[in-house]
């Protein structure tokens, strides 16, 4: 039996930390722009491939399914690979499948291309988060992960509107070509600024899977994300009609509310990094409780026009706190399966996307109106908090392997080790 080699003790950030994180965040920007621009260009895409708009909407679902499928599959093979090379390969695949989307001649080909494009999504964010956390000073790892995720947030404020404008004026295919170019630029910057980091030569996919999925804390954390974060999507999915039919504002105001969502995501992601230094677990509880309260506020003020706007901003800001700290929590409870742990967050969040949108549609179809998804969101937030409290109770009984109530800088290092017991 060999003793695990400790990670080198480090008190400060890597000299190229800022440029490396910028390169990693650009990849998040490319992914976020591609993921959401399809929604903005759906009428043009439907016309371009000769199907109805509801049918074209299935390409959005195909991407989400690709994310869920790609996380465990790619992470299964990724632990042994050098991390910089893996990041470049994932971005290369992302660029390739965006080009394939642009070249799609029909519904079937586009659906397949969008599914394939979703595959690298979670694995990229997982590996990029590990690299950023490793390069940061120990007490700043929460901010490092938040900085990577900030690329996804900024995409909703800048990238998606810009790509939508390009798609509307130059054709929807141009938007996918543009995101492929951003992905290619990310590859170059990662090679230039991200230090070379080896994988774990002792790791195997089966070992990572056993380590990760054998932990009750892992399952409880993923369930908290898949359920608790679903509330935001229950509201977001139907925001356009809520603004026009409930708040009684003109259709021209819908982009303003979408901008509020994007700005809330940016603000919340930054705050999440600060809160992580205080406590990852308590930040998740605060986010869950805050989300539940804000969902009730959304239901109450929805008929009152512009009063709804700040609530929309706050819902996304508080929800983004959960996204970042859920990522850190999974990295902490994953044991030695950190690659899989860092990536599975995105599978859980895409499950939340599907669950929230579906339940919101159910209550609307049942005749409860477009305010009702907010009540669904409040219930999902409460359930998410309950699952986290169950995880805490389970951990205190000695079943967990990682203390739940510590700050981000106190938990663990993510540097790969050369040998294991």
Rounded Cα distance between 41 and 346, Å, is: 24
Task: Kindly give the interhelix angle for 372-396 and 338-363, rounded to the nearest 10 degrees.
Answer: 150
Q: Is residue 133 part of a domain?
A: yes
What pLDDT, on the 0 to 100 scale, is given for residue 47?
87
What pLDDT, on the 0 to 100 scale, is given for residue 75?
65
Asked whether 63 and 186 are in contact (CB, 8 A), the reply is no
Residues 274 and 285 placed together within one structural domain of the fold = yes
Residues 223 and 96 placed together within one structural domain of the fold = no
CATH of residue 301: 1.20.1250.20
Q: Of 169, 202, 235, which closes a domain? A: 202
Residues 179 and 256 placed together within one structural domain of the fold = no
What pLDDT, on the 0 to 100 scale, is given for residue 153?
80
Residues 93 and 117 placed together within one structural domain of the fold = yes
What pLDDT, on the 0 to 100 scale, is given for residue 5?
43
Query: pLDDT for 175-231, tens place per residue?
Result: 999 999 999 999 999 999 998 766 666 655 666 677 677 778 888 888 888 898 888
Q: How many domains does the chain have?
A: 2
Residues 164 and 193 placed together within one structural domain of the fold = yes
- CA nearest neighbour of 363 among 353, 371, 354, 355: 371
What pLDDT, on the 0 to 100 scale, is given for residue 198?
67
Q: Is residue 413 part of a domain?
A: no
Backbone phi, psi, residue 397, to 5°: -80, 0
Residues 227 and 108 placed together within one structural domain of the fold = no
What pLDDT, on the 0 to 100 scale, is given for residue 204?
57
Q: How far apart, in Å, are the Cα atoms of 57 and each of 39, 63, 113, 115, 408?
A: 8, 10, 14, 13, 39
- CA nearest neighbour of 319 among 235, 202, 396, 212: 235
What pLDDT, on the 0 to 100 scale, is given for residue 342?
67
Residues 185 and 259 placed together within one structural domain of the fold = no
What pLDDT, on the 0 to 100 scale, is given for residue 35?
82
Asked whether 55 and 65 are in contact (CB, 8 A), the reply is no
What pLDDT, on the 0 to 100 scale, is given for residue 401?
46
Q: Of 180, 202, 224, which closes a domain? A: 202
Rounded Cα distance between 378 and 360, Å, is: 12
Task: Write the DSSP string, 59-74.
Answer: HHHHHHHHHHHHHHHH
Range(s) of the domain holding residue 388:
203-403
Rounded Cα distance between 256 and 264, Å, is: 12
Residues 176 and 259 placed together within one structural domain of the fold = no
Query: pLDDT for 250-283, tens place per residue?
Result: 877 777 887 888 888 888 888 887 787 788 888 8
Residues 310 and 175 placed together within one structural domain of the fold = no
Residues 113 and 258 placed together within one structural domain of the fold = no
Burial 57-92 (b: 16+ CB within 10 A, else e): bebbbbbbbbbbbbbbebbbebbbbebbebbbbbbe
Q: Is residue 53 part of a domain?
A: yes
Q: Is residue 273 part of a domain?
A: yes
User: Which DSSP state fits 306?
Assistant: G
What pLDDT, on the 0 to 100 scale, is given for residue 234?
82
Among all chains, which residue has been given the structure tokens 């809520």?
Answer: 242
Rounded Cα distance between 72 and 339, Å, is: 10
Q: What is the pTM of this model?
A: 0.70
Burial of 8 (0-12, 13-18, 19+ CB in 10 A): exposed
Mapping DSSP to helix (H, G, I), strand (E, B) and coil, where does residue 214 land? coil
Task: Kindly give the interhelix angle for 107-135 and 308-333, rounded to the nearest 10 degrees.
Answer: 70
Rounded Cα distance between 91 and 190, Å, is: 10
Q: Which residues of the chain have pLDDT under 70?
A: 1-15, 40, 53-54, 75-80, 197-208, 211, 336-339, 342, 398-421
Rounded Cα distance between 329 and 300, Å, is: 33
What pLDDT, on the 0 to 100 scale, is given for residue 10?
46
Residues 127 and 228 placed together within one structural domain of the fold = no
- CA nearest neighbour of 219 among 378, 322, 334, 130: 334
Rounded Cα distance between 134 and 412, Å, is: 10
Asked whether 339 and 202 are in contact (CB, 8 A), the reply is no
Q: Is residue 224 part of a domain?
A: yes
């Amino acid at each position: 039996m060999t003793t695990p080699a400790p990670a080198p003790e480090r008190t400060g950030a890597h000299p190229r930390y800022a440029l490396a994180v910028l390169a990693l965040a650009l990849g998040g920007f490319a992914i976020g722009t591609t993921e959401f621009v399809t929604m903005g260009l759906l009428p043009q895409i439907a016309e371009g491939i000769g199907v109805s708009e509801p049918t074209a909407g299935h390409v959005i679902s195909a991407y989400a399914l690709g994310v869920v499928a790609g996380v465990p599959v790619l992470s299964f093979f990724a632990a042994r690979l050098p991390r910089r090379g893996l990041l470049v390969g994932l971005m290369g695949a992302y660029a390739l499948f965006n080009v394939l989307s642009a070249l799609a001649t029909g519904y079937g080909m586009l659906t397949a291309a969008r599914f394939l494009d979703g595959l690298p999504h979670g694995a990229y964010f997982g590996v990029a988060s590990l690299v950023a956390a490793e390069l940061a000073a120990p007490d700043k790892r929460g901010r490092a992960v938040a900085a990577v995720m900030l690329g996804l947030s900024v995409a909703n404020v800048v990238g998606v509107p810009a790509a939508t404008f390009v798609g509307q004026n130059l054709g929807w295919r141009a938007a996918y070509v543009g995101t492929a170019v951003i992905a290619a630029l990310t590859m170059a910057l990662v090679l230039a600024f991200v230090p070379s980091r080896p994988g774990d030569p002792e790791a195997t996919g089966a070992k990572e899977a056993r380590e990760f999925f054998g932990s009750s804390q892992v399952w409880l954390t993923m369930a908290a994300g898949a359920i608790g974060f679903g509330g935001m999507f229950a509201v977001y999915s139907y925001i356009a009609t809520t603004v026009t039919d409930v708040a009684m504002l003109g259709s021209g105001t819908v982009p303003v509310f979408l901008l509020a969502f994007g700005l809330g995501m940016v603000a919340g992601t930054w705050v999440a990094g600060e809160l992580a230094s205080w406590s990852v677990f308590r930040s998740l509880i605060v986010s869950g409780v805050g989300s539940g309260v804000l969902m009730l506020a959304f239901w109450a003020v929805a008929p009152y026009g512009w009063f709804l706007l700040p609530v929309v901003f706050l819902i996304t800001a508080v929800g983004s706190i959960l996204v970042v700290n859920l990522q850190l929590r999974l990295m902490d409870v994953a044991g030695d399966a950190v690659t899989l742990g860092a990536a599975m967050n995105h599978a859980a969040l895409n499950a939340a996307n599907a669950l929230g949108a579906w339940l919101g549609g159910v209550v609307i179809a049942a005749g409860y109106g477009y305010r009702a998804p907010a009540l669904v969101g409040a219930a999902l937030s409460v359930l998410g908090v309950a699952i986290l409290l169950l995880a805490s109770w389970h951990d205190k009984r000695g079943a967990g392997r990682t203390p739940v109530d510590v700050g981000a800088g106190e938990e663990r290092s993510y540097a790969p080790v050369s040998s294991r017991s």
